[in-house]
């Protein structure tokens, strides 16, 4: 690029939240405590599956400081469940418990210490039921049912529109399948039968994960006369508002959900979590109630789906893919939460960004008596790509074709459809692959016991396009932006400020951004699927255009100019003879006082640029070089290369941060992270024994490449970032380990022992 075409976007500006967060001044939900707040502690199930016989709270209620013990019996006149797809999730266990750790009662007391002490005194009498602790158990004939009743699936079109094909009408036959999707075309069996080569990878196991956010789930709720105010750690405050309004039968306008800074989300804070518990606590006591979970409780609130995947791919002699046949089973735990959508997305993303003329994907999300699974950064993509990308490398070896060349021959080109009828690919993956492999090979050590692995994914990202934004121009020309998109560390506050400053031609410092308060800011459906820059960004551009148009109309009126002679200008309008008038002056002249403001409104729906689903494809293009210590199986990651195919980087430094963060988080599932059940409960529900990546795990060489081809529908050609680099990481690391050891892994994380067993052909440890 020669002259910079933009003033503010495309520059690495300092994050809006930087100083606040570094100095500790930033306010998170956990810091908020209205006066008169009571504190709650959850009494949790000590069985994986059991009838609730009786809850005896008398001893607890008699303890000093205890105000109430809320059980299912107390809230039965409310709508006692939540869930945005299937409202199957009881706020407090009703009739039976479905997993160890499920909330059974809520103790509300003057202090957290009093609530905690009393919680231990609530006597819960159970009658144990046989439990299903794995997907295989749950699918066995005559397996005990996790849910004896079925609930109506939300008719929301936004859900079905995000699955590639409409999913089957809910089968009310009772089994433990929470949701099933099928996807495909062509004649897979014929292609498999006539292929030059068919390569299989069976039983590829992806672990249960915990999206470790430094701030665990918490909420403080205040229920007063027909009004509920909640301050919580929700990524999607507007969707939480819907669940809460249904519980209490309140108008949406009388439920206010506010989200201050979020201490990490990674998808785990999508949708409703602890808000109903705090809210019923306040409803029962008439005082504000605060509930803060610890890490163990957070793990028992939401985890990521584990998966077992079988993949078969048929090839022509020249390496052309003829067919792929994929079966995935996701262990979704005790409640549906977002898993029906996760399995639908997992299916869409399972075969990769390749031309597959014949495809058959079957995905099942299965209920088990374990912690409920839901969204996690990447949304089903890592599970499928781990199996699918290893499968390609295995095939490349059998075909005698370089693994990059094999991918090159099969990659979908720019504009080509990955899913029939959906948006064509808005990226150039062949060019991206060259950059990736070039960087990896340039610095390859070629040492013994080292290997290079790379993998690609394409995710139908952006979720359902419903976004709005407001801008308010002030009398001094400064600008307030209102958005319902949550700042959870990804840097949206800075990016939105940059877009508004660019569109209105004002200084960045003159723009403020307020986010995520359902009573005051503009509606946003979700903060997820890497959508904010693209969809909220588009809404904000339109809001700025609306404000400029209003300013032009007002200038025409007060100056008597023909409206068609008025041109936009940075910070204001140009009248006839290039006469500049700033926004502030327009406002003050129109209102006839040093007062007033202009509000611009921007709306995004499935229309125009955002008609086709998905709004954009988020590509993951990553590679690593690892070395393996043969006698211990320890894996050392020497190189990490990511390619951010983002269309246009509004804040390049933030894009690099997102890719490095996503890739590092992806290293977790590849090498360390796995929640392990032994009997009804987890062995490692804490971050000492559940090992997340640390600074020392970050490779010496990190190359975060940004590619800008302006091929997105977002502002200035931008597309989203944030999930892409995580999605193929597990696959890339597993492939690199496979190359280093000469044996293809079938399971992650690749702990030292697993790699040692792989090297020595010893059976898996569990």
Partner 1 sequence: MLPEFTLSRPADIDEVLRELNADVVPYAGGTELLLAMKMGLLVPSGLVDLKRIPALREISASESAIVIGAGATHDEVARHELIQAHAPLLVQVEQNVGNARVRSQGTIGGNLCFAEPRSDLLALLAAFDATVLLRSVRGDRTLAMAEFVLGPYWTDRAEDELLVSVAIPRPCPTGAYVKLQVTERPTVGVAAVRTAAGRCRVVVGSVTEVPLVVAGASWDDIDADGIVAQVEPVSDIAGSAEYKKHITGVYVRRAVALARDGAV
Minimum gap (Å) between residue 633 Cβ and partner 1 = 8
- 25 sits near partner 1 (criterion: CB under 8 A): no
Give SS3 for 108.
Answer: strand
Cross-strand bridge partners of residue 450: 627
Tell me what percent of the chain is helix, strand and coil, each rounded to the nearest 5.
30, 25, 40
How far is it, in rounded angstroms, from Cα 503 to Cα 543?
10
Closer residue to partner 1, CB minimum distance, 113 or 252: 113
* 109-148 binders of partner 1 (CB under 8 A): 112-113, 116
DSSP state of 417: B
Minimum gap (Å) between residue 632 Cβ and partner 1 = 6
Q: In what order do the strands lie in the sheet with 616-628?
A: 450-461, 616-628, 635-645, 701-707
User: What angle (nearest 5°) sits at the alpha carbon of residue 375, between those of residues 374 and 378?
Assistant: 140
Closer residue to partner 1, CB minimum distance, 113 or 214: 113
Among 96-104, 108-116, 426-434, 658-666, which window interacts with partner 1 (CB under 8 A)?
Answer: 108-116
Q: How many residues does the chain have?
A: 766
Q: How far is CA 412 from CA 188, 204, 208, 324, 356, in A?
A: 19, 25, 31, 15, 9
* 501-540 binders of partner 1 (CB under 8 A): none
Among 392-400, 435-443, 736-744, 751-759, which window interacts with partner 1 (CB under 8 A)?
Answer: 751-759
Q: Could you give the string, one character per residue 612-651, with x where binding to partner 1 holds by CB under 8 A and - elsewhere?
A: -------------------xx-x-----------------
Nearest to 340 by CA among 88, 81, 100: 88
HSE (CB half, 13 Å, CA atoms) of 389? 32
Closer residue to partner 1, CB minimum distance, 37 or 116: 116
Cα 210 to the chain's mean position, in Å? 13
Closer residue to partner 1, CB minimum distance, 296 or 507: 296
Among 555-563, 585-593, 642-650, 747-755, which window interacts with partner 1 (CB under 8 A)?
Answer: 747-755
Minimum gap (Å) between residue 752 Cβ and partner 1 = 6
- 286 sits near partner 1 (criterion: CB under 8 A): no
Residue of 74, 170, 405, 753 that binds partner 1 (CB under 8 A): 753
Cα 41 to the chain's mean position, in Å? 27
Q: Are 43 and 103 in contact (CB under 8 A)?
A: yes
- 691 sits near partner 1 (criterion: CB under 8 A): yes
Closer residue to partner 1, CB minimum distance, 563 or 676: 676
Minimum gap (Å) between residue 24 Cβ and partner 1 = 16
Q: Are 241 and 257 in contact (CB under 8 A)?
A: yes
User: What angle (nearest 5°) sits at the alpha carbon of residue 698, between those of residues 695 and 704?
Assistant: 125
Among 5-13, 28-36, 351-359, 685-693, which window interacts with partner 1 (CB under 8 A)?
Answer: 685-693
Residue of 551, 751, 758, 759 that binds partner 1 (CB under 8 A): 751
Minimum gap (Å) between residue 59 Cβ and partner 1 = 18
Closer residue to partner 1, CB minimum distance, 1 or 695: 695
Closer residue to partner 1, CB minimum distance, 229 or 297: 297
Burial status of residue 406 (CB atoms within 10 A of its CB: 0-12, 13-18, 19 or more): buried
Minimum gap (Å) between residue 688 Cβ and partner 1 = 5
Residue of 123, 202, 417, 689 that binds partner 1 (CB under 8 A): 689
- 225 sits near partner 1 (criterion: CB under 8 A): no
Among 126-134, 382-390, 614-622, 752-760, which window interacts with partner 1 (CB under 8 A)?
Answer: 752-760
- 688 sits near partner 1 (criterion: CB under 8 A): yes
Minimum gap (Å) between residue 669 Cβ and partner 1 = 15
How far is it, in rounded angstroms, from Cα 681 to Cα 369?
10
Cis check: omega of the bond before 116, within 30 degrees of 0? no
Minimum gap (Å) between residue 43 Cβ and partner 1 = 15
Minimum gap (Å) between residue 692 Cβ and partner 1 = 10
- 449 sits near partner 1 (criterion: CB under 8 A): no
Query: Burial letters for 550-571: b for 16+ Cβ neighbours within 10 Å, e otherwise?
Result: bbbbbbbebeebeeeebebbeb
Task: Quickly count: other Cβ atoms within 10 Å of residue 53's Cβ.
Answer: 10
Closer residue to partner 1, CB minimum distance, 126 or 672: 672
Closer residue to partner 1, CB minimum distance, 502 or 673: 673
Query: Burial letters for 350-375: b for 16+ Cβ neighbours within 10 Å, e otherwise?
Result: bbbbbebebbbbbbbbbbbbbbbbbb
Minimum gap (Å) between residue 36 Cβ and partner 1 = 21
- 684 sits near partner 1 (criterion: CB under 8 A): yes
- 214 sits near partner 1 (criterion: CB under 8 A): no
Nearest to 515 by CA among 476, 549, 467, 475: 467
Q: Which residues contact 756 (CB under 8 A, 6 or more apart)?
A: 631, 632, 633, 762
- 683 sits near partner 1 (criterion: CB under 8 A): yes
Output the six-digit token pair for 335.
Answer: 């409640």
Among 81-89, 373-381, 421-429, 746-754, which window interacts with partner 1 (CB under 8 A)?
Answer: 746-754
Among 164-172, 339-347, 386-394, 687-695, which window interacts with partner 1 (CB under 8 A)?
Answer: 687-695
Nearest to 692 by CA among 666, 710, 711: 666
Output the six-digit token pair for 657.
Answer: 């941060």
- 756 sits near partner 1 (criterion: CB under 8 A): yes
Minimum gap (Å) between residue 671 Cβ and partner 1 = 9
Minimum gap (Å) between residue 117 Cβ and partner 1 = 8
- 761 sits near partner 1 (criterion: CB under 8 A): no
How far is it, in rounded angstroms, from Cα 324 to Cα 347?
12
Q: Are 685 and 216 in contact (CB under 8 A)?
A: no
Q: Which residues contact 318 (CB under 8 A, 6 or more apart)?
A: 409
Closer residue to partner 1, CB minimum distance, 556 or 675: 675
Number of residues that bind partner 1 (CB under 8 A): 20
Among 123-131, 399-407, 573-581, 757-765, which window interacts with partner 1 (CB under 8 A)?
Answer: 757-765
- 672 sits near partner 1 (criterion: CB under 8 A): yes
HSE (CB half, 13 Å, CA atoms) of 696? 2
Active site residues: 723
Cα 253 to the chain's mean position, in Å? 27
Closer residue to partner 1, CB minimum distance, 66 or 521: 66
Cross-strand bridge partners of residue 576: none
Q: Are 514 and 474 in contact (CB under 8 A)?
A: no
Task: Quickly count: other Cβ atoms within 10 Å of residue 608's Cβ.
Answer: 10
Closer residue to partner 1, CB minimum distance, 190 or 683: 683
- 676 sits near partner 1 (criterion: CB under 8 A): yes
Among 14-22, 243-251, 539-547, 688-696, which window interacts with partner 1 (CB under 8 A)?
Answer: 688-696
How far is it, in rounded angstroms, from Cα 70 to Cα 380?
36
| Residues found near partner 1 in the complex (CB under 8 A) | 112-113, 116, 631-632, 634, 672, 676, 683-684, 688-689, 691, 751-753, 756-757, 762, 765
């Amino acid at each position: 690029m020669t002259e910079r075409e933009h003033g503010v976007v495309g520059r690495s500006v300092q994050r809006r939240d930087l100083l606040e967060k570094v100095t500790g001044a930033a306010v998170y939900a956990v810091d908020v405590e209205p006066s008169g707040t009571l504190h709650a502690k959850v009494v949790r199930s000590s069985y994986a599956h059991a009838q609730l016989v009786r809850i005896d709270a008398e001893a607890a209620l008699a303890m000093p400081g205890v105000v109430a013990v809320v059980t299912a019996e107390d809230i039965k006149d409310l709508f006692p469940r939540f869930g945005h797809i299937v409202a199957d999730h009881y706020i407090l266990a009703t009739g039976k418990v479905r997993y160890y750790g499920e909330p059974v009662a809520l103790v509300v007391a003057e202090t957290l210490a009093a609530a905690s002490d009393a919680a231990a005194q609530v006597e819960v009498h159970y009658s144990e039921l046989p439990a299903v602790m794995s997907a295989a158990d749950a699918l066995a004939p005559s397996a005990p049912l996790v849910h004896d009743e079925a609930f109506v699936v939300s008719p929301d079109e936004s859900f079905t529109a995000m699955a590639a094909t409409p999913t089957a009408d809910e089968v009310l036959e009772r089994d433990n399948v929470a949701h099933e999707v099928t996807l495909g075309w062509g004649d897979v069996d014929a292609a498999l039968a006539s292929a030059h080569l068919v390569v299989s990878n069976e039983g590829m196991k992806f672990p249960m994960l915990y999206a470790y956010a430094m701030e665990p789930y918490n909420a403080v709720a205040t229920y007063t006369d027909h009004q509920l105010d909640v301050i919580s750690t929700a990524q999607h405050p507007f969707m939480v508002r819907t669940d809460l309004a249904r519980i209490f039968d309140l108008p949406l306008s009388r439920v206010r959900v506010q989200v201050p800074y979020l201490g990490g989300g990674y998808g785990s804070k999508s949708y409703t979590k602890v808000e109903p518990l705090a809210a019923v606590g306040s409803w029962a006591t008439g005082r504000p109630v605060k509930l803060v979970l610890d890490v163990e409780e957070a793990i028992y609130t939401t985890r990521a789906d584990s998966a077992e995947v079988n993949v078969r791919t048929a090839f022509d002699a020249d390496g052309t893919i003829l067919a792929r046949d994929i079966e995935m089973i996701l262990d979704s735990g005790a409640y549906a939460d977002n898993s029906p959508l996760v399995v639908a997305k997992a299916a869409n993303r399972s075969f990769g960004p390749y031309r597959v003329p014949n495809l058959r994907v079957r995905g099942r999300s299965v209920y088990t008596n374990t912690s409920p699974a839901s969204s996690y950064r990447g949304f089903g993509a890592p599970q499928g790509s781990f199996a699918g990308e290893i499968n390609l490398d295995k095939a490349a070896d059998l075909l005698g074709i370089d693994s990059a060349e094999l991918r090159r021959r099969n990659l979908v080109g720019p504009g080509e459809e990955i899913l029939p009828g959906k948006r064509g690919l808005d990226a150039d993956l062949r060019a991206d692959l060259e950059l990736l492999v070039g960087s990896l090979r340039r610095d390859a050590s070629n040492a013994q016991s080292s290997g290079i692995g790379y993998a690609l994914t394409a995710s139908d990202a952006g979720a359902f396009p419903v976004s709005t934004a407001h801008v308010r121009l002030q009398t001094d020309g400064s600008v307030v932006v209102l958005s319902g998109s949550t700042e959870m560390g990804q840097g949206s506050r800075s990016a939105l400020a940059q877009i508004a400053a660019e569109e209105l031609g004002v200084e960045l410092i003159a723009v403020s951004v307020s986010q995520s308060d359902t009573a005051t800011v503009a509606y946003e459906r979700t903060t997820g699927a890497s959508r904010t820059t693209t969809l909220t960004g588009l809404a904000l551009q339109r809001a700025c255009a609306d404000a400029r148009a209003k300013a032009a109309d007002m200038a025409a009126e007060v100056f008597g100019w023909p409206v068609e002679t008025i041109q936009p200008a940075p910070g204001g309008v140009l009248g006839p003879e290039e006469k500049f008038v700033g926004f502030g002056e327009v406002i003050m002249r129109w209102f006839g006082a040093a007062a007033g403001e202009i509000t611009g409104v921007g709306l995004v729906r499935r229309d125009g640029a955002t008609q086709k689903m998905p709004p954009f494809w988020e590509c993951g293009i990553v590679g690593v070089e690892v070395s393996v210590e043969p006698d211990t199986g320890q894996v050392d990651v020497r190189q990490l290369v990511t390619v951010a195919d983002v269309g246009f980087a509004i804040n390049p430094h933030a894009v690099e941060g997102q890719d490095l963060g996503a890739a590092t988080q992806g290293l977790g599932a590849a090498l360390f992270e796995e929640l392990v059940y032994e009997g009804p409960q987890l062995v490692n529900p804490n971050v000492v024994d559940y090992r997340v990546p640390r600074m020392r795990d970050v490779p010496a060489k990190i190359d975060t490449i940004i590619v800008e081809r302006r091929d997105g529908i977002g502002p200035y050609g931008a597309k989203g970032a944030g999930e892409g680099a995580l999605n193929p990481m597990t696959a890339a690391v597993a492939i690199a380990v496979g190359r280093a050891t000469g044996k293809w892994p079938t399971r992650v994380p690749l702990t030292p022992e697993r790699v040692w067993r792989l090297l020595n052909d010893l059976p898996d440890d569990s």
